């Protein structure tokens, strides 16, 4: 494996997806339109997408010793991801995500971590050679926070570019903000990180003001993911807005994962931050036009057809 590997440390989930016209209220039962099962999990989605876009990708994560876990590994392998770092916990089931997708493509997700929740910092230490071979590290928060902390430490030690998706939202220590290169929250994650309550229609100026609070705590580059509005890059010095193309959204599940993977691939190919964000916005807008998580990830060919 060359030194140009993109390493993903993160989760693998079986996504159990119900399509609904609208989400139920508390205590209400509604009838869904259809049900499907997809390979998902933020880590696995990022690994799959980066590989589909032509990257050399390895993943560290953990599944159970069940059929779902085997299916996850097989799906990633078939996409070209190096899966030797995906461990099996005989005592836990593979992670599961219960997902509702409404008629506008929006989703509501409940995850049960299973074997993602028992991935330990020590297991990362054992997989240290994968860090040595990598140039860039993709992280999310669906594995234990002390394991993510260890990944950041190993990433720094091996001088990797670190991109952290703070999802699902959790408070982050300042030490993390100082150690990573890019933080990629969506609006609700940004709100939780800084204690604000921005709404979907918040102005770019107010989003910038929120993101700058993270800069004062040590963050260098924050990429706010704004759904159909696109993305915004906030640094201590400047703000740049990247609008998304108008598309017919079928299912936005994993759009953020597609964004992070495409951004990583473009950066790793030597593009500037701005060029990489443009590429990520284009890739993610394609992903929302298809159903599912890994099943919605665009290929290199899909993206070159856009140019």
**Chain residues that interact with ligand RIB, rule: CB under 6 A:** 11, 13, 15, 40-42, 45, 97, 109, 111, 142, 253-254, 256-257, 293
Which of ligand ATP, ligand RIB, none lies near 208, with the C-beta cut-off 5 to 8 A by kind? none
- Give least dist CB 67 to ligand ATP, A: 25
Instruction: Read off the tokens for 35.
Output: 């049900």
User: Residue 7: which of 184, 221, 160, 183 has the closest Cα?
Assistant: 160
| Residue 263 binds ligand ATP (CB under 6 A) | no
- The residue with its CB nearest to ligand RIB is 40
Among 230, 261, 278, 297, binds ligand ATP (CB under 6 A): 230
Residues binding ligand ATP: what is the number (CB under 6 A)?
A: 22
| Residue 252 binds ligand ATP (CB under 6 A) | yes
Among 101, 160, 231, 303, binds ligand ATP (CB under 6 A): 231
Coil/strand/helix, residue 245: coil
Which 8-state DSSP code applies to residue 50? H
Spatial neighbors of 243 by CB under 8 A, at least 6 apart, are 229, 230, 281
| Residue 192 binds ligand ATP (CB under 6 A) | no
Longest dimension (CA), the chain: 53
Spatial neighbors of 202 by CB under 8 A, at least 6 apart, are 187
- Give least dist CB 91 to ligand ATP, A: 29
Which of ligand ATP, ligand RIB, none lies near 285, with the C-beta cut-off 5 to 8 A by kind? ligand ATP
Question: Do the Cβ atoms of 270 and 12 come closer than 8 Å?
Answer: no
> How many Å apart are CA 135 and CA 303, to the nearest integer?
23
Q: CA 81, 85, 86: angle at the middle one, nearest 5?
A: 85
| Residue 284 binds ligand ATP (CB under 6 A) | yes
| Residue 38 binds ligand ATP (CB under 6 A) | no
- Give least dist CB 50 to ligand ATP, A: 15
The backbone region for 80, taken as left when phi is positive above 0, alpha when psi lies in -120 to 50, beta otherwise, is left
Nearer to ligand ATP, 162 or 293 (CB): 293
Which of ligand ATP, ligand RIB, none lies near 87, with the C-beta cut-off 5 to 8 A by kind? none
Which of ligand ATP, ligand RIB, none lies near 111, with the C-beta cut-off 5 to 8 A by kind? ligand RIB
> How many Å apart are CA 291 and CA 162, to the nearest integer?
29
Strands 161-164 and 182-183 come out as parallel
* Helical (H) or strand (E) element with 75: helix 67-78
Binding site for ligand ATP (CB under 6 A): 167, 186, 225-228, 230-231, 244, 247, 249, 252-257, 259, 281, 284-285, 288
């Amino acid at each position: 494996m060359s030194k140009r590997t993109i390493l993903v440390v993160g989760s693998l989930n079986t996504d159990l997806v119900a399509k609904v016209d609208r989400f139920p209220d508390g205590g209400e039962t509604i009838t869904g339109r259809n049900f499907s099962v997809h390979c998902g999990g933020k880590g696995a989605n990022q690994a799959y997408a980066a590989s589909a876009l032509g990257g050399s990708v390895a993943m560290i994560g953990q599944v159970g010793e069940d059929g779902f876990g085997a299916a996850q590994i097989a799906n990633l392998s078939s996409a070209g991801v190096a899966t030797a770092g995906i461990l099996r916990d005989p005592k836990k089931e593979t992670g599961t995500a219960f997902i509702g997708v409404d008629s506008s493509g929006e989703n509501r997700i409940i995850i049960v971590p299973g074997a993602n929740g028992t991935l330990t910092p020590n297991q990362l230490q054992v997989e240290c050679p994968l860090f040595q071979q990598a140039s860039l590290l993709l992280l999310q928060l669906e594995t234990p926070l002390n394991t993510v902390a260890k990944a950041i430490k190993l990433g720094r030690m091996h001088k990797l570019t670190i991109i952290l998706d703070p999802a699902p939202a959790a408070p982050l220590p300042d030490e993390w903000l100082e150690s990573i290169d890019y933080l990629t929250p969506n609006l609700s994650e940004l709100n939780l990180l800084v204690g604000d309550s921005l709404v979907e229609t918040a102005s770019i100026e107010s989003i910038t003001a929120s993101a700058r609070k993270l800069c004062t705590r040590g963050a260098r580059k924050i990429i706010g993911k704004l759904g159909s509005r696109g993305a915004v890059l906030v640094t201590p010095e400047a703000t740049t807005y990247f609008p998304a193309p108008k598309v017919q959204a079928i299912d936005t599940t994993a759009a953020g994962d597609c964004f992070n993977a495409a951004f990583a691939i473009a950066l790793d190919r030597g593009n500037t931050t701005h060029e990489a964000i443009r590429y990520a916005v284009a890739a993610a807008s394609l992903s929302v036009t298809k159903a599912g998580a890994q099943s919605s990830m665009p290929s290199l060919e899909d993206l070159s057809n856009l140019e």
